[in-house]
Every structure is written in C-alpha cells, then in structure tokens.
Chains A and B, each alone.
Chain A
Amino acid sequence: MIELRDLTKRYGGVTAVDRLTLTVRPGHVTGFLGPNGAGKSTTLRLVLGLHRPTAGTALVDGQPFAGRRRGLRYAGALLDAGDVHGGRSARAHLAALARSNGIPRARVGEVLDQVGLADVARCRIGGFSLGMRQRLGIAAALLGDPPVLLFDEPFNGLDPHGVRWVRGLFRRLAAEGRTVLVSSHLMSEMEQTADHLVVIGRGELLVDESLAAFTARGRDNGATSLEEAFMDLTADRVDYPTGGRS
C-alpha cells in the first residue's frame, strides 16, 4: 500500500506536486495518468525517497521509504530505463543490486529469464535498445520480490509482444496481492492494463476511481472513448499545449 498525505513538492517557485492525498491499494493495477509535466515522475520519486517533500508525507506499507536501510524487499521500481550505467553487463548490474540487499545470486538468473534477457545477460547495457532497458529495469524491480511495485512509463520502447507481456505481468503481480502503480501518459494503454485510475494535472489530484466508474462518467459527458474522457478532463491543465486541435 502507498499512502500520500498532503504531499507537496516545490522547486523554487514551481509547485510540481500540490497537496496530493491518495491511497494506492494492493491487489489492483493502478494507472497513474496526467499530461507531460503533471508531476507523475516527481510523485514517484517522492514516494521512493529520492526527493524530499516540501510538505506532507508518503508512506510505503506504513513507513517512509527513505527510512529503510535496504529497499528492494519493500518496493521495486522502474523509474527510467536509462537509470543504469551503460558500461556494465545486465548480469553485473543486477548482481550488484541483489548483493547490496542480501538477495541470493540465483535470483539474478531467475529475473533475467523472466524478462527474456537471459541470452544477452553478459552484454553491456550500453548496447541495449530502449525496450531491452525497460525489461532490465523491470527485472531490477522484481529482484527483491517486493509487495509494492512502481513503474514509470514502462511501455515506452517495447514491441507489441513486450507490451502484451508487461500487461500480463502487471495483472499477475496485482493478483498476487501486490500494490502495482503504473504511470503513463497514454490513456489507451491504461485502458487495457489498469483497473483503477489516478489522474493528476499540474500536481493536483483530478481523479481517483475505478476504470469502470471513470469510463461511465466519461460516457455520460459525451466522450466516446476513455482517451477522449481524459482529454476533456485535462484540457485546461496541459502545461505544454500544441498548436490547435488535430
């Protein structure tokens, strides 16, 4: 479970996250949506203790994550597929992470198999495509078999097989009773992955309800698809609007 209470983050005069209060429950895939710059990634970084909140709290299973001495058994995260040193092999990268948390070495081979990177385990990450790096990031998140998992834009760069696999993986992790939070700016992708939706815009909470409820509400307002409902909702909260309607 992830609990945010009045979570706020300001950088200088810019408020990236604004008094966000929210509970992300286990057993569901929760889609975390918002336009570019809405504060999704900042929120995830605050949850994981990488950034310190200006005000408010973020708890992972009842405790601030930054207070854990080792993290992988409490939460796994793919924040940015690029957050790896390109000079290492996939195996060395995961072996160091596992070792830092006292996770048995055999687990590295298991997660490499699970994400389909076993054949390239000895190759340098620098030569990986974005999709392969996403898989490596997912492998790292799974290493500690954690009850809470956070994924920031995990579908970027994945081929259709990869997208389908990741979707199934998220559902399976949720069905095992884990808390799964998946951020995306692609509504269409969330439609097929999430069963609960959280939408933020300019750092503020806009929606926190089941996918079914959100869809029904959108339909009542005349939206013909989830994507359209999302566009209507966030229309006045886009930080980087493009010229005219398409």
Chain B
Amino acid sequence: MNRWLTRRWPAPHWPSIRGRARADAGPLLLTAAVIAAVALLAGAVPALLRAAADDAVQDAVRRAGNDANVLVHADWERDDGPNGGRIRTAGLADDVEDFRARATYALGADLDAALLPPVAVVSGPILSITEGSVPRTFQFTYLADDRDGPAVTWIAGSAPGSPFPDEPVEAPYDGPPWPVQVGLAETAAAALNLGPGDRLPVKDGQGRDRDVRISGIYRPADSTDSTWRLAPALLGPLPGADGVGITRFAGLLSRESLPDARLAVDQDQLRRTVHFAPEPGALTWDTTAALANQVVALKAASGSSGARDGSLRWESQLDTTLRDARTRGNAASAQAAVLLTGILTVTVLVLLLAAALLVHRRTPALGAARQRGAALPDLAAELTIESTVVSVSAAAVGLALARAVTPGVSWTWAVPVVLAGAVAGPAFGTLAAARASRDRRQPANPAARRWIRVTAQLRRAAVEAAVLIAAVAGFVTLHQRGLLPDAADGDTGELTGDLVLPISALALGGLVGALVLLRLLPLGARFALRQALRSRRPLAVFSAARAATTAGRALPLLVLVSATALASFALILGSTVTRGLADGAWSTVGADARLDLGTDAQAATPALAERVAAAPGVQQVVVAQVTESARVFAESTLFTPRLVVVDAAAFQRLLATTPLPDAPALARLTAPAPTPGDVPALVLSNDSELRTGARLQLPRDDAPAIRLAAVGTAPAVGGAGDVVVVDATALAAAGLPAVANTVWVTGPGAARAVTNSGVAADVVLRADVLRAQRVAPLTAGLLRLAWTAAAVLVTLGLLGLLLAAAAGTSERWHTLVRLRTLGLRPRDARWVAAGELLPPVVVTAGYGPLLGALLARLTLGPLDLRLLTGQPGDPATVLPWWLLGLVGVVLLAVAATVVPVESALRRRDRLSEVLRAGE
C-alpha cells in the first residue's frame, strides 16, 4: 500500500520534449507524412468502395432489365352466368386497376419507394396464325399504367372497341367464337398484310378458331417507352419468341375490347400480371439486403398457384439480382480489404523502422538524460506525448483530406497505423534509454555469452513461429471459408471478425516470406564471405564482411521484402482482372464484332456476310442462328440453352483467330451421328446436366421433334451457361433450315465493317463491351485500388530502403573509416559500402516478385475475381513480368544512388569526426 501511495505520476519535462522535436523535426515530419498519406488512403477507400457498391447495385438492376421486375399475378373470378354461359364483364379494365392498386398496397413502403409505378399487363394465350408458309404466333395484350397505357397514333382505322353495350351480356359456352377487336402495329400489319376490318386467321392450342379482328393500325408515339418492354411484340414482329424460326405478332387491346378478349378465350386463358420495374436511382447498397428479403417474403406469402381465387402470386428475380450485386460488392470489399491490409502491414513496418532510426539518433541524448537523473517513466511519458501528438494529428489531417475528396470517411482502418506511430517510438526510446544507463558489459564468461545468444535466438524463433502459425491459419481459413460474409450469420455488409484471419492471410504470407529470407540471407552472406576470404581481393572480403554483419537486421529486410512482394501481388491482381475483363469481352461477343439481325434483315444475311467479309481488315465472318432459351428436351427434362446453328467448319476457323478456347469437337458435328437420323450436337452446361452422350430432342410445331445426339463439349458462346451447338447443314438436312440472325466478324477491320454494313441490326463491338466492363463501378474501383496499392507499396518499400540506409549509415561509415585507418583508399570505401547495401536489394528484387507470384497463386482463387470480371470461372492468373521486373529495377536504381549520395554527403565529414562520433 505504501508503494502505491508513494508512487508518483510521470512528470514530463516539456522543454526536453520541445527540444527533441526541434532537433529531430525531419524524421518526425517524415513519420507524420507517412501516417497522413496512409490514413488518407485507408479512410477514403471504404467510402469510395461503398459509393461504387451503390453504383454497382444500380448498374446490376439496369442490366437485368425486365428480369429484375417484381411481378404479381392473380386469377380472375369465374364469369359463369345464370343461363349456362359466361357473363361479359364490362368493367373489366376497372377490375385490372383495382388489381394494380391491391398489388401496390401489398408491396409495403420500402419496396414501393424502390420501384416505379406499376404496369398491368393482361395477355391472352399464344395463338397460331393459320395462314402463311412460316410458323407465326399471335397474342393479344392489354397494357395499363398511370397514363392508361403507352401512347400510340392510329394511322389507319381506330382503337379497338366493342359492338356490345355496357349491360351484362351472356355468351353461351357452346356458342361461336366471341369476337374481339385489336390494334396492330404498323410493321406487324405490313408483315401480315392485314388492315382495319380484316379478321386475323388464328387457332388456339386445341385447334379451335378464334375471332380476332383488326380495328386499326397504330404507330407507337415513343417506341423507347419502357412499358413496351413488357410486351415487345406490340412494337412489331418478334422472331424466335416462341421457338426456333417462329415469329410472334401481337394485338393491342383497349379498355373497351378487354371484356371481349376474356370471352374470346377460355375461362382461365386470359392472364393478368402487374409489373413493378425497379427504380435504379432509389437503390443503394444499404437497402439491398432488406429489399431482397422483402421480395423473398412476398414470394413466400404468395397464394397457391392452384387456388382459383384473386389472391396475389408474386414472382421476381429482383432478390437474386440484388443478392448477386451484394455478393459482388462483398467480394470487392473483401478484395479491397486484402490490399489495404497489405498496405497497412508494410506501413506499420516502415513506421517501426522510422522509429528505430529516430531512436538511434536520440540514444546519446536519452543516455545523457538518464545520467542526469531522468526517470524512465518520465522519459517514456515524454516520448509518448510527442509520438501521440504527431500520429494523431497526422492521421487527422489524412482523414480530413479523405473526407474532403470522398463522400465519406472511415477511420477504422487508420487505427493500426496511428497505434504503430504512437507506440513504436516510445517503446524503442525507453528501451534505448534503459540500455544506455545499464552498466552491463560483455560477460567475460563464455557460457554467459552463449546463454545470452541462445536466449535471443529462442525469443526470435518464438516470434517467427507465431507469425508462421497465423499465416498458415489465415491461408487455411481463406481456402476453406473464403472471403464472402457468411449468409447464415446475416449479411450486414460489414467486415466481421471472422474475416480478419483470411483477409490477413496475404500480408502474413508476405511476412513469412520475408522471415524465410531473413533466415537465408545471413547464410548466403556468410557463404559469400567464406568465398571472399579465399580470394586475394581485400575489397571482396570487407564488402562480404559488412554484408554478413548487416544481413541479419530484421526490420529493413521485412519492409523491403513485404513491400516488394505485396506490390507484386497488387500488380498481378490488376493484370489478372484486366486480362479477365478482356477474356470476358471475347466470351460475351464471340468475335471482334457481332451483328444481331432483326427479322427484316435476316433474308439479306448471306449477302451481308459476303459484303462484310470483303471489307478490308476482316479475317473471318461466320453467320449463325442463335436462339436464346431454346426449348430442348433431354429425356423428359426441359432445358432452355442457347441454341447455336452454325457452319461448324467456319465456326472453328473463326475461333482459331480469337483468344477464345479452341473447340476441336466442332469437327464432330459434320461427321455422321452415332445413331442414324440423329443430328450431332455439342453441349455445354454449368451443372453438367447437358453432357456428352445425352440424347436430346428439339421440338417443332406441326412436325416431329428433331433428335440430337450430344457428341462433345461445346465452346462457350456469349458467356451462356447452357449451350447447344448444331451444324447448320446437318440441321437443314433434318428438316429445319436455319435462319441466320447473328454474324460474327474477326479482324482489325471488323468494327468498321459491321458499323458500315447498311443493315438494320444491333452492332455489338468487343471493344465497346470491354470498355463498359472496365468502367463498371466495382471493377473500375478495384482496378484503381490495385494500381494505387502497388504504387504505394513500392513507395513504402523505397522509403524503407532509404530509412534502412540512413539507419545504418553512421555505423557503416564508422566502419569504413576504421578500415581507412588500416589503409583503405576512399574510392575503395565506396565499393565496400555498395557491397554492403546492394546484396539484400538485389536478392529482394528477384525474391519479392517471386514471392508475390506465389502469394497470388495461393490467394487469387478464394478472392472470387470472377464476380468482377463476369467470367464463368476464375480468371487465369497473369504474371506481368515486365511490371514485376520494373519493381526490381526501381529498387536497384534507388539503392545504387544511395552510395554515391551518401559518399558525397560524408565527404565533408573529417575522418576524425566520424571516429569521435562513433566512440
């Protein structure tokens, strides 16, 4: 108790604090600059990432298009009348309005705020047009939104009406087809050669005639109106909508003709759906999880599809889209955290090195202070006050700058840097002061000296073992658990504690690599020394001796190797993502350029292909019929793969001119099938359900299905998960001639050739796709961070190199002067200095990039880069050797300038002063 009562608080001596700060303003300012710069980066990155995540969510929803809509269905109440017929409900359009209002109410406030006003779509069944030589289908549709449907101009006839009064009319069940009036789009009417007053010859699935009459021809006031996207056939004929080679037409219903449409088809054949399109601008990263959960809850609460009542049945992929975007955001966040952890680790090491240098300068003053009677707690308090003021104020400046240039700031990541800056100096300084005042000489007893050495070695081995164990645990966790938040724990969008270890795996790996070199370098230096001792060159001996003396110094080598390895990793990551984006663009487009042709232009495809092929700079041109979500049966299972009907030989030649994987199996498409009558096909499936050896069927209307035999693996076309590729000639021989709707073009002149094709077609250029992918928010953000991290790490490495040189310069030149007292010439002294400084840098210049490549190999897989590159699989690791070599060259160049600069600075010092300072 007395001890506690008599203990006094540390009493800092303020003039000493001010004096030390003035004397060492340079190193303190350097420390502050490092802390401020890294705090700026660490504070800005999370905020920038969050902003990019918001943009990415909105971008994902925009790209998903109608797939991200929230749909709600409800059956009609039965319209049975009292006299054995069906009652015509004159107010059916009002009923649809009521349905729209009910659906909106059921959404809830949060979802309602994130979605655009609803559009109700009432559609009839798919009817077959009975005239014409090619298969065509027809569907009538009613659109209702806040504006009563999209605006149209009637260029012939009038809007659909009804010959029946508003009073209830009962249609007998066995009566003739109930007439319904529809409007036709201008292009559809021209294609069908029909006009106002004509009757459209259609039958339903049971072969019964339906009475559909054309009331007028319309032209959309704005064909880009998003409402049309819900029923695109209303804008004109839609090829391939109902199967290969089948074109769909659509008729527009009005409020007046809607009741007739219900009676024109069977009781349950008119379907009503309300579409809610998301408002991308209203979506943010923070809201995605809650919105996705609400969509899931709506879907879970849907009424049974078998129930014949008006209950709402929800359907949407918005939750999947949001969750995918969130997964990509989480992946980007984790990837950024990995890079940031690397930067922070190296920064902490640099700050330790800077603190060691500062304390080295101060040791005489601290020793003198102790001899004057300063207590260690007082000195520790003084040093802590100084380092805390420097670290906290520098971090505050960095975070303030981050706040000024970014939408927000995160201080969490700056904490390790501030702590290192605040603690390292006082800790090293107090130890140095304690040693300076401890009257301990080298023990004369050899056993005592050996014990001291063994104790130091055990202490070092324990630290190294701890780092190694942490690194192994980090990599194991990284590979077993990954970096994405555990959905079971709830995805909060924040990095949770269980992610600390896997996120740190890279940095720990860098440290372990540096520790390995730290063990090997002294062995190598001693080996070099032994070789030099056998030589007759005194400079080699002294250089090797100096190198061997300094090879075991931990901090300089840890900084150099960690910085170089992690910078190399960042360069590899950036290059891999860049290449992944390029490969993804090749995969998406399939060539340098692609033309997606409309129905009107399809007939001219062969001539178009010839014209494009003749253009300068075009290497290969291939035409194909590509059908999205084609219906293909394998046994009794329906698949909806991308069906590609193409000249197999030409396709193989085209692939050979691209970086896309070659597909040798394409040659099998032109060989006879294993079973006569089957058409050979290549298949590709994400889940392996479409596999080689499978027997497939391609159904046709009014004809037997075509049998396909899967004889090999298809190339990935357009990044689709499921693909079926068939040779056009073989399929035509089986009775289904292809109607080409796609033209792939390769060669340097491909873009110009397709752009000037003179045909109404969607032009997809690989360069445009690549550009779009590169500027995608998360991808662009990660790439910027990777390049920035590489630059920062290289800078930190160079700073570490200079600090290490500065920390050793006093001892180095003292030794050199001692050698000069033995007769070493001044110019020879510079060679000896170079012999000391260069070996670890030369080794690091080679070892660091190799370690970075090893870390990339161990780490890139679990980083889930495919989520950002848009590839079906992980991108292949790219080693940018020239960039990695550049890192080494920069290190060597800076190290090579240290000796002449140091020599020039030291030239002014008299030998006697150096010796006196070193005593």
| Genuine A/B complex | no
